[in-house]
Structure 1
Amino acid sequence: MADELRQELINRHLITMAQIDQADMPAVPTEVDSYHSLFPLEPLPPPNRIQKSSNFGYITSCYKAVNSKDDLPYCLRRIHALVFAYDFHAGGETMMSRHFNDPNADAYFTKRKWGQHDGPLPRQHAGLLPESLIWAYIVQLSSALRTIHTAGLACRVMDPTKILITGKTRLRVNCVGVFDVLTFDNSQNNNPLALMAQYQQADLISLGKVVLALACNSLAGIQRENLQKAMELVTINYSSDLKNLILYLLTDQNRMRSVNDIMPMIGARFYTQLDAAQMRNDVIEEDLAKEVQNGRLFRLLAKLGTINERPEFQKDPTWSETGDRYLLKLFRDHLFHQVTEAGAPWIDLSHIISCLNKLDAGVPEKISLISRDEKSVLVVTYSDLKRCFENTFQELIAAANGQGSSI
C-alpha cells in the first residue's frame, strides 16, 4: 500500500478512536440517547451560552459519538434541544478551514480601493486556486444539489462552513435537513413543500457564492460592495466558462433555474473529473488487492492465540500442553520463535506468512516441529495441523456456546 494512503487511513483510525478525559471536560455528556464516548469536534460553547451559530441562530455543538446499537461512529450536531446524527468522516475539514482561513487572502478586497493596486493581481498558483480544483468542486456540489432537488427537497446549507473536504478533493455537504426541522411550523395548514422551489433557487445562488469565493480565494469577494472587483479578478484569471457559470448563478433570471442548466458550462470537464475518480478507484483497488489477505491471516492468528497457552480448559490445567494443542504450541514456536545458529532471534515475516498460508490451505507438505528442550522432533503435515487447529477451535466454540461441559 502506498505510504500516503496508509498514513491517511492510520490518521483516520486514530481520530475515530479518540476519547476525552471526562474529568478534564465535565461539560461533555457521557451519553446522549444511544450514543456514548462523545468527543467534541468543535470548540465547546462558552459558559455564558450567549454565542450563537451564524448559520442557524441557535447555540450549537458538534461531537463524534459511537452508537451502542451498531458500534459505529457518528457526527452529532446539537442545536438547542435537538440532536441531529450524521455519518462521521474522520479527518474531514470544512471548506472554510481549508481555503478561507488565511486573513491575508482578503487583502485584495479589504486593503485596496478600486483601481489602486500596490502590487500584482493574485494569479492562479500564486494566491489563487487552480481552475481544475474549482471545477472538481463544482462537479461534486452540483451533483449533490441535483440529487437533492430531484427528490423535491432543498439543501439550504450550501456554505463553506458546512461543506466538508476529506482526502484531497472529496466533498460532502453537512447539516442537510437542519433548517427543515428548525423552521417547521406544525400549526400551518400550508404544504411544507410549498416554498421548496424558492429554497432550491436560493441553493443555486449559494452555490454561485461558494464558487466565486473559491475563485477569489476569499469570502470578502462575495460581499455586495466587492462583486464588481471579484468578477474582474475571475475574468483575468479564469476561463469564460467559469465566469459565465458564476454570473448565471448569481444573476436574477426571469424564469426558474435548474441545476441542470449549468451542465453545458461544465462540459467536457465532467469527463475529466470522472476519469480522475476512476483512476483513483483503480489505485485504491490495487492497494486493496495487496492487503486483502491480511484479514484472513489475522483471523488465523486470533484463533491460534485463543488456543496457545490457555491456562485451563474443562478444569484441565494441562489442556494446552497435550494432544493436538501441543502440536499447535510447537507450530507457534516454529512461526515466531526461530533462532539462528548463534542463538539470535531470526525474524522473517515472509516465513510467518508462508507458514500461515500453508496452514490455511492444509497442504500435504511436511514440517518438523522441535520441542523447546530439543529432545523431541515431530514430523507432521500442514494438513494434519489444520485438522488439529480446526477441531481444537471448534471445541472452544462449543464450550463458549454452552454445548460442552461447564468450566
Structure 2
Amino acid sequence: MAQLDQSENTGVPSEVDSYHSLFPLEPVPPPNRLQKTSNFSYITSCYKAVNSKDDLPYCLRRIHALVFSYDFHAGAETMFSRHFNDPAADSYFTKRKWGQHEPPPPRQHAGLLPESLIWAYIVQLSSALRTIHTAGLACRVMDPSKILITGKTRLRVNCVGVFDVLTFDNSQTNHVTLMPQYQQADLISLGKVVLALACNSLAGIQRENLQKAMELVSINYSSDLKNLILYLLTEQSRLRSVNDIMPMIGARFYTQLDASQMRNDVIEEDLAKEVQNGRLFRLLAKLGTINERPEFQKDHTWSETGDRYLLKLFRDHLFHQVTDAGTPWIDLSHIVSCLNKLDAGVPEKISLVSRDEKSVLVVTYSDLKRCFDSTFQELQQAAAGPL
C-alpha cells in the first residue's frame, strides 16, 4: 500500500480519530491556493486511510472541520474523469468564430457513447435514487464528479448525505418539509447527467446549448431516451417520482438484469476458486510451521523424528522431486493434487523416499493426515501455554 512521506507533506495528519496511514486521493494544493469546490462551496480534500478497528481501507472526505468516511473502492474513477475529460468533445457546443459555419452534429461512431451504455447507467442511477427517495431522503449530489465507476459499468454515488450535514438547521422543527423539493431536484440532476452522457460533453447541459443538445439526441438516439431526458428536465405542476421513468426504460431493464446475473456468476466462480486457494494455503502454512523447526520444547531433533519425519518426506515429495537427468521436476498440478488428497485423507498409498535414497516408506494419505493433524495440534497446545 502506498505510504506518504510525512516530512514532505506536513499538512496531511498521520492519524484522524481511528484512521491512520492517510494518503491523498486528489492533488493537495498549496495552502495559498486552496479553492472552494463547486459542489459544496467549501474547501475539501479526499484521502485513503486505514481504520485501526477493522484494518480495512476507507475513503475520507474532509470538508472544513468535518470528516466523512465512505467505503474505499480501489481502482475507481469518476464519471467525469472517464467520459468528460476531453476538451475536444465540447467543440460542437463552443461558439463558432465570425464567418465559420455551424459544425455538423457528431454521430455515435464519431465519439458518442453507445446507447446501451447510457441505459445501463440510467438503470443504476435511477435505482439508487429510488432507494434513497423510498427512505424519505434525497441524494443532492447527482453529479458526474461524484459518481464513481468501478470495473466497466458499475456505478456508485459518492458523498451522499454531505449536504444534509452542511445545511442542517437546528432551529427548523420539521426537517422533512423540504425533502420533496430536494427529490425533484434529484430528478433534474439525473436528467442533466443523462443528457451530458448522450452529448458526451458537459457543455451540452448549459442553458444556451440545450436546444442543440436535444437535436443531437434526436439524431443519434431512440425516442425513448429523448423522452426520458425531456421528462426529467421539464418541471411539472405535480410531483414526479423516479418510478415514472420505468415505462421508458421498458425491456432494457431485463438486459441490465441479465448482465448483472452473468456478472454474479463470474464472481461466484472466481470466489469458489479463491476458497479452494485459501484452503490449500492453510495446509501449506500449517506444514511450514512443522517442517525444519529448529527446536521444540528443547528437542533439536523434533522435526526429524516420528510423525514429523514423515511430513518432511512428504514435503520433499511435493516440492523437491527431480527427473531422471537430475533436473528439478516442477508440476503445479502434482502439488495441488497431493495437497487435496492430504486434506481429504484418502486411503491411496504413497511412496516417500529419504534424501539419501536408502529408505522408502509406504504410507497412505489418511496416515499422513493423522500425523499432520496431531502434530499441528501439539504445536497449538504448546503455543497456548499451560491453562
Q: TM-score range by the shorter chain?
A: over 0.9
User: 1:235–1:154: structure 2 CA closer, same or farther, 3 Å change rule?
Assistant: same
The share of aligned pairs that are identical, in percent, is 89
Aligned residues: 387
Task: Give the AA of the match of 1:396.
Answer: L
**Are the counterparts in 2 of residues 165 and 172 from structure 1 also a CA contact under 8 Å?**
yes
Matches within 5 A, 1:306-317: 306-317=289-300
Matches within 5 A, 1:106-121: 106-112=90-96, 117=101, 119-121=103-105
Among 303, 311, 316, which residue is 1:320 paired with? Answer: 303
Task: Give the AA of the match of 2:371.
Answer: C
Q: Deviation of residue 315 (structure 1)?
A: 2.3
Among 221, 230, 255, which residue is 1:238 paired with? Answer: 221
Q: Deviation of residue 317 (structure 1)?
A: 2.4
CA distance in 2, matches of 1:383, 1:260: 61
SS in 1 for 2:32: coil
Q: Deviation of residue 287 (structure 1)?
A: 3.7
Among 146, 149, 154, which residue is 1:165 paired with? Answer: 149
Task: Give the AA of the match of 1:295.
Answer: G
Q: Which aligned runs of 4 or more in structure 1 are off by greater than 6 angstroms?
A: 113-116
- Equivalent residue number for residue 6 of structure 1: none
SS in 2 for 1:313: coil
Could you say what the CA RMSD is over the residues aligned between the two structures, in angstroms?
1.8
Matches within 5 A, 1:6-405: 17-48=1-32, 50-112=34-96, 117=101, 119-186=103-170, 188-403=171-386
Q: TM-score, normalised by structure 1?
A: 0.91
User: 1:376–1:108: structure 2 CA closer, same or farther, 3 Å change rule?
Assistant: same
User: 1:108–1:54: structure 2 CA closer, same or farther, 3 Å change rule?
Assistant: same
49-58 or 167-176, larger mean C-alpha shift: 49-58
Q: TM-score, normalised by structure 2?
A: 0.96
Task: Give the AA of the match of 2:268.
Answer: E
CA distance in 2, matches of 1:145, 1:113: 41
Q: Deviation of residue 66 (structure 1)?
A: 1.3
CA distance in 1, matches of 2:241, 2:101: 38
Q: Deviation of residue 395 (structure 1)?
A: 1.2
234-243 or 116-125, larger mean C-alpha shift: 116-125
Q: 1:108-145 deviations in whole A, cap 9, x for unaligned?
A: 10143799656542111311111111010000000000
User: 1:226–1:367: structure 2 CA closer, same or farther, 3 Å change rule?
Assistant: same
User: 1:136–1:116: structure 2 CA closer, same or farther, 3 Å change rule?
Assistant: farther
User: 1:338–1:190: structure 2 CA closer, same or farther, 3 Å change rule?
Assistant: same
In the alignment, structure 1 segments of 5+ residues that lack a partner are 1-16
SS in 2 for 1:400: helix
Q: 1:24-47 deviations in whole A, cap 9, x for unaligned?
A: 434322211111122211111322
CA distance in 1, matches of 2:46, 2:258: 35
CA distance in 2, matches of 1:50, 1:237: 41
Q: Deviation of residue 190 (structure 1)?
A: 2.3
User: 1:259–1:116: structure 2 CA closer, same or farther, 3 Å change rule?
Assistant: farther
